[in-house]
């Protein structure tokens, strides 16, 4: 059945709330369908005890979610935007991610934080950031980044069932994207990179919203005789280093693409992780494509200059293939 990314998230939460009465949803305006399409209809189906609107206090409701998880519940926390997580960073990095270790495994923190992010929607510097790289420095926290409806549903169900805190990153540009998604229960394991397209000349590793741009770039590269393989990590903590490395060993060339800023980005960690396994197979240095290191502008033309796109990916692929 063909559904949107937002509908896939809705299905996953609905099915998990039906399966386990300990699963509940909380966040700003989550019970208002017109504001939050991913949660549309859930309050009508499960009631306001399990679909809870919260005050506009990220620090407060994140702490409440951590406490609920410690008490045996499985909260899904809708953060509205990843930018707002800096207001609750202590609860996430110092409490949710560490309490299981600090208390000798006496408690689990089965908390999912849904974190919409990204540009392309003219929301400006403080509402368009891609901050998942911040959370790679937090042991105990899983970081999941789906790129399409099918993966969104399977990975969200896996995240809800996991006994560790999970940051579930959702690129807002993807919410209306459609894909055939199998009905019923299925999960996708963490640390299982997906091959979106096979190729032999260069590997394009795209994160989240950039998988689509990599696919578009691959189509254009085919027209000039370049066969590109497109890989989607799906989770970046844990990262499927072996799966990504196998593709790079096969092609000998690699371009890593992310929407986040280049300096200190996820792409740097992926590059470092796979290079030690692929170094002897590389025909050229690995290239990276990312947002420029400036705040994300509101103006459409400026935003296009700052953010990655298929043209920039094609140029990077040509750079590695022309290296000599």
Burial 10-49 (b: 16+ CB within 10 A, else e): bbbbbbbbeeeebbbbbbbebbebeebbbbbebbeebeee
Angle, vertex CA 130, rays to CA 129 and CA 131, nearest 5:
105
Rounded-to-integer distance, Cα 95 and Cα 247, Å: 37
What distances in angstroms separate CA 187 from CA 2, 16, 108, 182, 285, one per listed residue?
18, 11, 21, 11, 36
User: If we measure between CA atoms, which residue out of 82, 38, 75, 34 comes closest to residue 54?
Assistant: 75
Rounded-to-integer distance, Cα 247 and Cα 278, Å: 9
The dihedral built from the CA positions of residue 241, 196, 40 and 156, taken in this order, carries a sign that is negative
CB atoms closer than 10 angstroms to residue 262: 15
H or E stretch at 52: strand 51-53
Backbone angles phi, psi at 266, to 5 degrees: -60, -35
What distances in angstroms separate CA 220 from CA 177, 195, 217, 226, 314, one per listed residue?
21, 18, 5, 9, 8
**Which residues have C-beta within 8 Å of that of residue 168, sequence separation ≥ 6?**
112, 113, 114, 115, 144, 146, 155, 156, 159
Active site residues: 58, 127
């Amino acid at each position: 059945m063909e559904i949107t990314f937002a509908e896939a998230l809705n299905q996953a939460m609905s099915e998990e709330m039906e399966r386990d009465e300990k699963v509940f949803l909380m966040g700003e305006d989550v019970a208002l369908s017109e504001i939050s399409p991913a949660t549309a209809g859930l309050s009508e189906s499960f009631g306001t005890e399990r679909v809870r609107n919260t005050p506009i206090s990220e620090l407060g409701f994140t702490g409440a979610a951590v406490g609920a998880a410690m008490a045996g519940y499985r909260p899904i926390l809708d953060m509205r935007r990843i930018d707002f997580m800096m207001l609750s960073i202590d609860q996430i990095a110092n409490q949710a991610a560490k309490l299981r270790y600090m208390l000798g495994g006496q408690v689990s923190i089965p908390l999912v934080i849904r974190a919409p992010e990204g540009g392309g929607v003219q929301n400006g510097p403080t509402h368009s950031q891609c901050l998942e790289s911040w959370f790679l420095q937090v042991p105990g926290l899983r970081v999941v980044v789906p790129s399409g409806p099918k993966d969104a549903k399977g990975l969200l169900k896996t995240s809800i069932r996991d006994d560790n805190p999970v940051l579930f990153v959702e690129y807002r540009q993807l919410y209306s994207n459609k894909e055939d998604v199998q009905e019923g229960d299925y999960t996708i394991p963490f640390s299982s990179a997906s091959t979106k397209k096979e190729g032999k000349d260069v590997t394009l590793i795209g994160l989240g919203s950039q998988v689509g741009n990599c696919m578009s770039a691959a189509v254009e590269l085919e027209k000039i005789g370049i066969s590109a393989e497109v890989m989607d990590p799906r989770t970046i903590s844990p990262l499927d280093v072996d799966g990504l490395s196998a593709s790079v060993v096969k092609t000998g060339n690699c371009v890593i693409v992310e929407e986040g800023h280049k300096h200190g980005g996820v792409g740097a960690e992926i590059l470092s992780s796979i290079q030690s396994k692929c170094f002897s197979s590389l025909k050229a240095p690995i290239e990276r494509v990312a947002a420029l290191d400036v705040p994300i502008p509101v103006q459409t033309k400026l935003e296009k200059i700052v953010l990655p796109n298929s043209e920039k990916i094609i140029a990077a692929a040509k750079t590695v293939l022309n290296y000599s």
